[in-house]
Chains A and B, each alone.
Chain A
């Protein structure tokens, strides 16, 4: 048990919908287990289409939701046993989220530096104006920005790629050991995607951060992941080393997913939807 950063042990999540007479059950996650080692930081990708249960899994790992069956352990501690503000606070500092749409996560009327200051004060224990600003600057420098560029700015003044970097910097400010990134590049322009994806790789290598990368984009998953799992309708249908799985998928669903990826053509190849 020692050495696991995050461990999911046969986790299932069932939602019930409707009233007494017409109750329906939706099985969003069915029997999912995986384990990230503390000693070996990695980028772990969860791949699947909408409705495959990948975002529910993210909510469970972030302890925003308790699974209906199974256990989630973070550094050996069962999340269901988490009691009181102190434990919760420590958990939140160690596991941080990055969400899909950077334009929606920030309040348009609130300055961006406020988010960073608040996180630095609450989770990094920075006291006093200079210490808070220094902590915010350190976090921003890790993502290739600086406080001077962000101070006093409102969300609409930055591009989507920059905003997503600020969101990542905010997540880094608490000094986490695990980042849960739910579709972090799907709202970012294609030309800026590469820079966000490269940033994740840098965070893994330089800060020793483990990242759970949730996506339906197989191409970026291939380029940065160490291991992946592919989910369909709540179940894991294929898992393993990213290169092996994506180069030669075995499950029919994984093959469908891979075939649906539209990549630029090799010279002379025929487009899928040619005239």
Chain B
């Protein structure tokens, strides 16, 4: 084993800076059929970082490229998806550019030990014909370096953190309720105490009451382990209560990013404003206005600012030029030419 590889296995306690830094990332679906090129620019020039010990939220509607971004970061890249440009840097993989470009043996060591993934459908994570305990062995045993009895004890102790009894290890996935399965998926993703957890719509399929429990658990585990989390959901209510910083995606680009309370208090991008203002709430009888038009096709996105066809503030310049991401306050970045007008409009 080379020295570099041993380095990856050890926990980089002293490492400073963000856990993940994504710079100018472009990931496109490219199809070449009969000489016709078709490109779907699902992630088109995204720059952001997830810091140590924080939950970074990512919001946006379906087909805004959230899931492609997450897949690219997790290194789950299969043709026709490819990274066209940009780079992803992990603090736990110094000197390499992202999982997909790392040698397979290094990627295998890093996956689940340093980076894990909670997906939307917990049913599709857990093998339906194997007991839950077997899934824990498959995912985590080789990273933990414990004997059989020690491993089982560690798993049971970890399951207690998500309020599950040790007996679920003997159950098949279909015997558990949706909330329990999602808790098993969270336990699976956190058992190796990874530095970085990606959660893609982990509670969207759950009921409101169960969702509240699962989110609470998510935060307490994150707090205890000091992991960093990239939390993807389109539910702004969840973001308001859970995330520390929040990025808003629209049509493959990040349009605004700020600390969550600041973003809700002073949104500067018209799309963010719309997302926040369209939420109905109990006790508030103001009529809500839906957004006109439909999300743009990423195969032929609008020119200039991609939001301009649906934007009430759109000016001539928005149709032609792409607004750059600019800092407008501490930790607050926005990509909009009309951001000052947006802010003062009630």
Contact = CB atoms under 8 A, between A and B. Distances in A.
Interface of A: 49-50, 158-162, 189-198, 216-220, 222-223, 246-247, 256-265, 267, 271-275
Interface string B287-308: 1111110110000000000000
Contacts of B260: 271
Contacts of A267: 265
B207 A263 contact: no
B199 interface: no
B290 A49 contact: no
B261 A265 contact: yes
A216 B208 contact: yes
Given A219-B280, A223-B280, A263 B240 contact: yes
A142 B272 CA distance: 29
A262 B212 contact: yes
Contacts of A216: 207-208
B237 A257 contact: no
A159 B61 CA distance: 10
Contact of A49 (B63, B209, B275, B282): B209
Contacts of A190: 61, 234-236, 275, 278-279
Given A162-B294, A191-B291, A195-B290, A246 B282 contact: yes
Nearest to B278: A194
B207 A197 contact: no
Contact of A219 (B54, B178, B212, B281): B281
Contacts of B264: 264-265
A191 to B, nearest CB: 5
Contacts of A265: 240-241, 261, 264
Contacts of B236: 190, 264
A216 B242 CA distance: 21
A262 B240 contact: yes
A158 B216 contact: no
Interface in B250-279: 260-261, 264-265, 274-276, 278-279
A273 B209 contact: no
| Max chain A Cβ within 10 angstroms of own Cβ: one of B61, B215, B290 | B290
A261 B295 contact: no
Query: Which of A159, A190, A216 is the most central at the interface, judged by chain B CB atoms within 10 Å of its CB?
Result: A190
A198 B241 contact: no
B223 interface: yes
B282 A159 contact: no
B211 A275 contact: no
Contacts of A222: 280-283
A218 B290 contact: no
B294 A159 contact: yes
9 contacts: A49-B210, A160-B62, A190-B61, A190-B234, A218-B282, A219-B237, A220-B280, A260-B211, A264-B236
Contact of B208 (A194, A196, A220, A260): A260
B170 to A, nearest CB: 21
Contact of A262 (B55, B235, B285, B291): B235
Contacts of B207: 49-50, 216
B244 interface: yes
Given A49-B207, A158-B294, A195-B291, A273 B283 contact: no
B136 interface: no
A194 B215 contact: no
Contact of B279 (A218, A246, A264, A271): A264
A5 B106 CA distance: 67
B164 interface: no
A263 B281 contact: yes
A218 B209 CA distance: 12
A273 B214 CA distance: 11
B71 interface: no
B283 A247 contact: yes
Contacts of B178: 50
A194 B215 CA distance: 25
Contacts of B279: 190, 219, 263-264
Contacts of B288: 194, 197-198, 223
A77 B235 CA distance: 43
A267 B263 CA distance: 11
Contacts of B209: 49, 256-257, 260
Interface in B197-226: 207-212, 215-216, 218-219, 223
Given A219-B279, A265-B240, A192 B61 contact: yes
A159 B261 CA distance: 30
Given A191-B278, A246-B282, A262-B215, 7 more contacts: A190-B235, A191-B291, A192-B291, A222-B283, A267-B265, A273-B216, A275-B55
Contact of B238 (A189, A192, A262, A274): A262
A198 B287 contact: yes
Contacts of B216: 272-273
B212 A191 contact: no
A247 B284 CA distance: 10
B237 A263 contact: yes
Contacts of A195: 290-292
A50 B211 CA distance: 12
Given A159-B63, A218-B208, A222-B280, A189 B234 contact: yes
Contact of B278 (A193, A258, A259): A193
Contacts of A272: 212, 215-216, 241-242
